[in-house]
C-alpha cells in the first residue's frame, strides 16, 4: 500500500488506518477495486471515484488497482498522479498484479480490465480469453471480497463476463453482479435531447434492453421529456415513429464504432462517466429515474433466465429492482428476442470454455 503521507511503498493493512488524512467526522474508508487500472477507461474513472463523485463527498476510499504484471510500471505512474491530485478522500492506494490482494475486503468492484480484441481475432476467441479472466476473478472475489460487494463489469463482452464471474463466486449473491449498459443509456438520452432541442436532464426513462453489443435495443417508448414544466411521452413529442425505430436505434447501437473510427481508440471518457453513474446510483439510489443495468435475468419480459440482460431498474437502499408492467410492442418483442438469443448463445459458448 503506497502511503501518501510518508511515501512508504508498502504498508500492511493494519497500518494504513494510521495514515488516513480524512477528517475524523467522516465515515470509515471503504476499499474499492478497479481492474485494468493502467488502461484508458481507468485513467478517467479513478479521479471520479477518488474525488467523491461516486460514493459521496463524505466517504473516503482506499483504491485497489489491479492490472497485469507487465503494466506495473505504467501503474506506478498512475499512483504518482493520484498522489499529486492531493485528494482529501483518498486514504491510500494499493497497486498490484495479484487478484486476491486486489479483491481483499472490497465493498465495490469496477471490473474494467479485459483482453482487447486483436486483429484477426474471432468473437469466440475474445470470449474465450475473457471467460478465463473472469472465472479467475470470480474465484478470487469469492475467496476474499466482502459478501455484500457490488460488482460492475465493464470489460467486454460485459454481460457474459459478469455471468461467468458470478458463477465462480457462489458465496456472493447473484444480485451483486451487474454489467454496464449505462453508456448506451447515456448515449440514447443525449441523442433524444439533441433531437428535441432540450437539456439532457430533461429526458428520462429511455431503456437499453439486452446485451451491450450491436443487438442491444435502445427503446424510447416509455421515455419522457420535460416540455413547459410537464413530463410528456417522448414518442408523442418526437412524432416520428420511423426515426425512433430506425435512426435512433442504429445510432446508439453503432456509437461505439463511430467513436473508434474518429478517435482510433474506443470510448473511454464517456465509458468512465457511465461506470461512475452506474455505481453512484447503485449506492445512492435512482430517485424518480430509471437506469439500465445488466442483471441476472429472472425471466422478466419473456427474456431468457440466467443470462445477464439489461433491464430498466430503480434502486433504493442499495438494492436494484426491475421496472415492472411495461407494455412490449410487437417491434420491441422482436428486438428483445433477438438480443436475448445472442446472450443465450454467448452463455453456451462461455460454458463450453469453462468445461476445458
Give the nearer residue to ligand NAI in terms of CB position, either 160 or 267: 267
CB of 241 to ligand NAI, least distance (A): 27
Give the nearer residue to ligand NAI in terms of CB position, either 66 or 234: 66
CB burial string 300-339: b at 16+ within 10 A, e below: ebebeebbbbbbbbbbeeeebebbeebeeeeebeebbeeb
Do residues 331 and 298 touch, judged by C-beta distance below 8 A? no
Give the nearer residue to ligand NAI in terms of CB position, either 130 or 176: 130
The backbone torsions φ and ψ at residue 3, rounded to the nearest 5 degrees and listed phi first, read: -95, 130
Is residue 278 flagged as an active site residue? no
CB of 346 to ligand NAI, least distance (A): 14
Give the nearer residue to ligand NAI in terms of CB position, either 152 or 225: 152
CB of 17 to ligand NAI, least distance (A): 27
Give the nearer residue to ligand NAI in terms of CB position, either 59 or 292: 292
Give the nearer residue to ligand NAI in terms of CB position, either 47 or 231: 47
DSSP letter string, 109-158: EEE---PPPPTT--HHHHHHHHHHHHHHHHHHHHHHS-TT-EEEE-SSSH
Alpha-carbon distance of 336 to 91, in angstroms, equals: 44
Q: Which of 212, 273, 280, 347 is catalytic?
A: 212
Please report, as ranges, the residues that interact with ligand NAI according to CB under 6 A: 35-36, 38-42, 66-68, 71, 112-116, 133, 154-156, 158, 180, 183, 212, 266-268, 271
CB burial string 78-108: b at 16+ within 10 A, e below: bbeebeeeebebbbbbbbbeebebbbbebbb
Give the nearer residue to ligand NAI in terms of CB position, either 133 or 291: 133
Distance between the two ends of the chain, CA-based, in angstroms? 36
Which grid cell sits at 199? 437539456
CB of 271 to ligand NAI, least distance (A): 4
Q: What is the strand order of the sheet 224-227 is part of? A: 203-204, 224-227, 230-233
Residue nearest to ligand NAI (CB): 39
Q: How far is CA 148 from CA 49, 171, 225, 283, 286, in A?
A: 19, 10, 36, 12, 19
Which grid cell sits at 223? 421515455
SS3 at position 313 = strand
DSSP state of 310: E
CB of 70 to ligand NAI, least distance (A): 7
CB of 129 to ligand NAI, least distance (A): 9
CB of 9 to ligand NAI, least distance (A): 21
Query: Looking at the annotation, which residues are catalytic?
Result: 212
Amino acid at each position: 500500500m503506497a502511503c501518501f503521507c510518508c511515501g512508504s511503498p508498502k504498508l500492511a493493512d493494519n497500518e494504513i488506518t494510521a495514515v488516513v488524512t480524512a477528517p475524523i467526522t467522516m465515515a470509515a474508508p471503504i476499499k474499492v477495486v478497479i481492474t485494468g487500472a493502467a488502461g484508458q477507461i481507468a485513467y478517467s474513472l479513478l479521479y471520479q471515484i477518488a474525488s467523491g463523485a461516486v460514493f459521496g463527498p463524505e466517504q473516503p476510499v482506499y483504491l485497489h488497482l489491479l492490472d497485469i504484471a507487465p503494466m506495473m510500471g505504467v501503474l506506478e505512474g498512475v499512483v504518482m498522479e493520484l498522489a499529486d491530485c492531493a485528494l482529501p478522500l483518498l486514504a491510500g492506494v494499493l497497486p498490484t498484479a495479484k487478484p486476491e490482494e486486489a479483491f481483499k475486503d472490497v465493498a465495490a468492484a469496477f471490473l474494467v480490465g479485459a483482453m482487447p480484441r486483436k486483429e484477426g481475432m474471432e468473437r469466440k476467441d475474445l470470449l474465450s480469453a475473457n471467460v478465463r479472466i473472469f472465472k479467475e476473478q470470480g474465484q478470487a472475489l469469492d475467496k476474499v471480497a466482502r459478501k455484500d460487494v457490488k460488482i460492475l463489469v465493464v470489460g467486454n463482452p460485459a454481460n457474459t463476463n459478469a455471468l461467468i464471474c458470478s458463477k465462480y463466486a457462489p458465496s456472493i449473491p447473484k444480485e451483486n453482479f451487474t454489467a454496464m449498459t449505462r453508456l448506451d443509456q447515456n448515449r440514447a438520452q443525449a441523442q433524444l435531447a439533441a433531437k428535441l432541442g432540450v437539456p439532457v436532464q430533461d429526458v428520462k426513462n429511455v431503456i437499453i434492453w439486452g446485451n451491450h453489443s450491436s443487438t442491444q435495443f435502445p427503446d424510447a417508448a416509455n421515455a419522457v421529456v420535460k416540455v413547459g414544466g410537464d413530463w410528456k411521452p417522448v414518442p408523442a413529442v418526437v412524432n416520428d415513429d420511423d426515426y425512433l425505430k430506425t435512426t435512433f436505434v442504429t445510432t446508439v447501437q453503432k456509437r461505439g464504432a463511430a467513436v473508434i473510427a474518429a478517435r482510433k481508440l474506443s470510448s473511454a471518457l464517456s465509458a468512465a462517466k457511465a461506470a461512475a453513474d452506474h455505481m453512484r446510483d447503485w449506492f445512492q439510489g435512482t430517485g424518480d429515474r430509471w437506469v439500465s443495468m445488466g442483471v441476472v435475468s429472472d425471466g422478466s419480459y419473456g427474456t431468457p433466465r440466467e443470462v445477464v440482460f439489461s433491464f430498466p431498474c430503480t434502486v433504493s437502499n442499495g438494492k436494484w429492482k426491475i421496472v415492472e408492467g411495461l407494455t412490449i410492442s410487437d417491434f420491441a418483442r422482436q428486438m428483445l428476442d433477438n438480443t436475448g438469443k445472442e446472450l443465450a448463445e454467448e452463455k453456451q459458448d462461455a460454458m463450453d470454455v469453462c468445461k476445458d
